[in-house]
């Protein structure tokens, strides 16, 4: 993975006011939504606004994504042509919804290749895959490896619930009374396993109860524990929580640095393991410590306070 992000703020492409606020937010990525957040009669308007907005210089120091409509609906080609194909567009990621097989990703990959070649687009557009249907679960690893453009797999709890005829009250909401714990634990685990097997990121989806920030934080902690690196936000108040949970703390970074230093010193002395702060540091522990430092480096957090807002460019 060349890029790592903690927070993805989704905003309808029809609202220039909301897009402006999103551009000024602390979100690592802003997603302009052309799909579920836009009514059928406003699709053309959304494409026009997204194309105009994508040319704004503000995106030179912020990552921009666009969620297209599902391939096969007759709308996805218009989405890509209008927005990614817009002269001067700075779209970095295309979010592909309701992916159930690698052919869905292949079509988007091929179309992007055509647009980049014909229009001379200088930066290569990445792909984020939305896992929103039970039919995708048995093919997750295959899907995750279907294109070298893929940067992440994202869990979409709302549509996934619908695909399983599950109770929507527990989809992205705080209903511990209905199901204590994480009702989607097995799905999140499967997505994380497939993503890590393919070498891409696992990203958690939206949390619908926007007034319940404690519930949002709880889901962030759940998915982070399973190896997810970020989460979607549908309200600006959720951004700070995602940025906090998915970034290693200053203390964690310092501890990892001490572990690596202790292990290197032991190795230089001819030992294959070291003891530090009362804990054994072996090859497995070292791998975990170095992963913390790699994450901190990818997020630009080493050497400064990890709680600072992240506003610099995420372009590779």
Residues above pLDDT 70, as percent of the chain = 86
Domain co-membership, 21 together with 89: yes
Picking from 200, 224, 245, the residue at the C-terminal end of a domain is: 245
| Range of the structural domain that residue 256 is part of | 250-298
**230 strand-pairing partners:** 203
pTM of the predicted protein model: 0.84
Helix axes 185-198, 213-225, angle to 10 degrees: 50
Look at residue 98 and tell me if it is in a domain. yes
Angle of CA points 64, 68, 71, to nearest 5°: 145
Instruction: For 55-70, write each residue's pLDDT tens digit.
Output: 999 898 789 999 999 9
**Per-residue pLDDT reduced to its tens digit, 163-179:** 999 887 766 666 778 88
pLDDT at 305: 43
Same structural domain, 124 and 59: yes
Written as six digits, the tokens of 212 are 């319940």
Does residue 2 form part of some domain? Answer: no
Q: Are 150 and 105 in contact (CB under 8 A)?
A: yes
The model's pLDDT over 208-245, given as tens digits with 9 standing for 90+, comes to: 889 999 999 999 999 999 999 999 999 999 999 999 99
Q: Which two tokens stand for residue 65?
A: 């994504």
Residue 267 above 90 pLDDT? no
pLDDT of residue 308: 39
């Amino acid at each position: 993975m060349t890029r790592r992000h903690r927070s993805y703020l989704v905003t309808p492409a029809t609202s220039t006011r909301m897009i402006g606020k999103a551009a000024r937010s602390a979100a690592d990525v802003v997603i302009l939504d052309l799909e579920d957040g836009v009514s059928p009669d406003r699709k053309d308007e959304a494409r026009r606004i997204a194309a105009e907005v994508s040319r704004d210089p503000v995106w030179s120091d912020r990552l921009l994504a666009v969620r297209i409509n599902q391939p096969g609906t007759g709308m996805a080609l218009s989405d890509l042509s209008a927005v990614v194909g817009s002269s001067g567009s700075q779209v970095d990621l295309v979010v592909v919804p309701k992916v159930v097989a690698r052919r869905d990703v292949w079509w988007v990959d091929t179309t992007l290749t055509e647009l980049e070649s014909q229009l001379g687009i200088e930066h290569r557009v990445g792909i984020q895959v939305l896992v929103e249907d039970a039919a995708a679960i048995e093919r997750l690893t295959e899907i995750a490896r279907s294109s070298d453009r893929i940067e992440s797999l994202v869990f979409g709890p709302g549509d996934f619930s619908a695909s399983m005829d599950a109770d929507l009250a527990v989809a992205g909401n705080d209903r511990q009374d209905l199901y204590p714990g994480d009702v989607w634990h097995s799905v999140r685990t499967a997505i994380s396993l497939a993503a890590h097997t393919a070498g891409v990121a696992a990203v958690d989806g939206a949390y619908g109860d926007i007034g319940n920030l404690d519930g949002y934080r709880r889901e962030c902690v759940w998915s982070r524990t399973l190896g997810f690196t970020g989460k979607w936000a549908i309200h600006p108040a959720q951004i700070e929580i995602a940025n906090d949970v998915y970034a290693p703390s200053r203390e964690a970074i310092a501890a990892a640095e001490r572990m690596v230093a202790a292990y290197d010193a032991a190795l230089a002395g001819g030992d294959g393991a070291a003891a530090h702060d009362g804990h054994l540091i072996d090859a497995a522990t070292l791998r975990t410590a170095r992963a913390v430092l790699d994450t901190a480096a990818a997020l630009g957090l080493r050497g400064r306070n990890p709680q600072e807002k992240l506003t610099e460019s995420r372009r590779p």
